[in-house]
């Protein structure tokens, strides 16, 4: 029953955000935007509940392409972390600041890293690569890269604004284009070299600096019914993020890496997750 309520709960959560922002900002775009994203997420989760192997891909494409092509390239909104800093420092609660608040800063308290599993346009491409499950253990000692990229993005936008550089809207648009090309190139190379589609997510992505602490407290999370579990290990072998989902504690290994992709649930022969 809890699993069946998940799609409805997801949609309702987005709808609450959609209505609140519509009324607060007086702009019907927010109603349409968050209703569309909520419906796309609920559709993917619902398809999964009905056994579709392509459920998550559907949502990734619906949300990822919408944000990358329509919001990013057509509407010229920088929805990457540089756009977040830009709107934040401008004192504007629009576009990227709202997107980050909902999907990456406060939302993960409810739905963890659902963004990473169902909506990110970078992972939308990386998940098409051949190494869906990592072929090797994690590389230790390089997690600092994400913090370096995070600080670099902050310094880039902060420096431009402190220097009073003009034409920031144009700069932010091209930063979005160049940044995405760089992310895709780096993500694809890392995936192929480390034989792990999600290597970019694990070592480089600066957004995880926001996502990981909040998702530690996520309400939606994978837990194990140990009365059903027979310890076969199929779930761990299916996980793209090396999560120890058999440990129900919040301190479990790589617990803040779970992207709620449900591959472990699908792999379990005993319906224990
Ligand atoms: S870790 Fe970064 S690149 Fe990976 S899915 Fe999440 S937001 Fe996207
Ligand atoms: S396989 Fe399970 S534990 Fe691993 S990321 Fe997906 S949902 Fe989370
Ligand atoms: S796949 Fe299911 S039964 Fe096997 S170890 Fe994981 S939770 Fe237990």
Q: Is 194 contained in some domain?
A: yes
pTM, rounded to two decimals: 0.91
Instruction: Provide the pLDDT for residue 242.
Output: 95
- pLDDT of 3 > 70? The answer is no
Which pLDDT band, with edges at 50, 70 and 90, does 50 fall under? Answer: confident
- Give a three-class secondary structure readout of the chain: CHHHHHHHHHHHHHHHHHHHHHHHHCCHHHHHHHHHHHHHHHHHHHHHHCCCCCHHHHHHHHHHHHHHHHHHHHCCCCCCHHHHHHHHHCCCCCHHHHHHHHHHHCCHHHHCCHHHHHCCHHHHHHCCCCCCCCCCCCCCCCCHHHHHHHHHHHHHHHHHHHCCCCCHHHHHHHHHHHHHHHHHHHHHHHHHHHCCCCHHHHHCCCCHHHHHHHHCCCCCCCCCCCCCCCCCCHHHHHCCCCCCCCCCCCCCCCHHHCCCCCHHHHHCCCCCC
Q: Report which ligand 2 atom has the smallest distance to the Cα of 259.
A: 5
Q: Is 128 contained in some domain?
A: no
Domain that holds residue 151: 78-119+136-215
Give the distance (Å) from ligand 1 centre to CA of residue 45.
Answer: 19
Instruction: Provide the pLDDT for residue 256.
Output: 95
Interval 104-155: pLDDT, tens: 999 899 889 989 999 999 999 999 999 999 998 999 999 999 999 999 999 9
Instruction: Provide the pLDDT for residue 49.
Output: 83
Q: Which residues line ligand 1 (CB under 6 A)?
A: 116, 120, 122-123, 200-201, 205, 207-208
13 close to ligand 3 (CB < 6 Angstrom):
no
Which pLDDT band, with edges at 50, 70 and 90, does 198 fall under? Answer: very high
Q: Is 228 contained in some domain?
A: no
Q: Is 263 contained in some domain?
A: no
Instruction: Provide the pLDDT for residue 171.
Output: 95
Q: Is 33 contained in some domain?
A: no
Q: Is 155 contained in some domain?
A: yes
- Pocket residue to mutate for ligand 1, from 68, 143, 200, 212, most atoms within 8 A of Cβ: 200
Q: Is 100 contained in some domain?
A: yes
Ligand 2 atom 6: the closest Cα is on which residue? Answer: 261
Interval 200-256: pLDDT, tens: 999 999 999 999 999 999 998 999 999 999 999 999 999 999 999 999 999 999 999
Instruction: Provide the pLDDT for residue 2.
Output: 61
| Count of domains for the chain | 1
Q: Is 240 contained in some domain?
A: no
Q: Which residues line ligand 2 (CB under 6 A)?
A: 222, 238-241, 243, 245, 258-264
Mean per-residue pLDDT, 151-162: 95
């Amino acid at each position: 029953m809890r699993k069946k309520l998940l799609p409805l709960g997801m949609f309702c959560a987005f709808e609450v955000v959609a209505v609140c922002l519509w009324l607060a900002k007086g702009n019907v775009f927010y109603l349409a935007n968050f209703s569309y994203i909520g419906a796309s997420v609920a559709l993917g989760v619902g398809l999964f509940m009905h056994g579709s192997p392509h459920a998550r891909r559907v949502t990734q494409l619906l949300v990822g392409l919408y944000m990358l092509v329509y919001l990013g390239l057509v509407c010229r909104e920088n929805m990457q972390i540089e756009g977040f800093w830009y709107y934040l420092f401008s004192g504007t609660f629009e576009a990227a600041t709202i997107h980050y608040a909902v999907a990456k800063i406060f939302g993960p308290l409810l739905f963890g890293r659902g963004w990473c599993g169902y909506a990110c346009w970078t992972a939308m491409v990386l998940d098409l690569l051949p190494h869906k499950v990592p072929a090797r253990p994690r590389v230790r000692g390089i997690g600092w890269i994400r913090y370096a990229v995070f600080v670099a993005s902050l310094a880039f936008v902060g420096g431009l604004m402190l220097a009073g550089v003009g034409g920031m809207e144009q700069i932010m648009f091209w930063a979005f284009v160049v940044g995405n090309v760089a992310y895709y190139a780096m993500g694809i190379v890392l995936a192929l070299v480390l034989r792990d589609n999600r290597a970019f997510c694990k070592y480089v992505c600066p957004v995880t600096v926001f996502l990981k602490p909040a998702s530690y407290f996520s309400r939606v999370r994978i837990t194990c019914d140990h009365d059903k579990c027979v310890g076969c290990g199929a779930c761990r072998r299916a996980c793209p993020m090396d999560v120890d989902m058999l440990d129900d504690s919040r301190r479990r290994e790589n617990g803040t890496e779970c992207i709620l992709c449900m591959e472990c649930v699908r792999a379990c022969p005993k319906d224990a997750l």
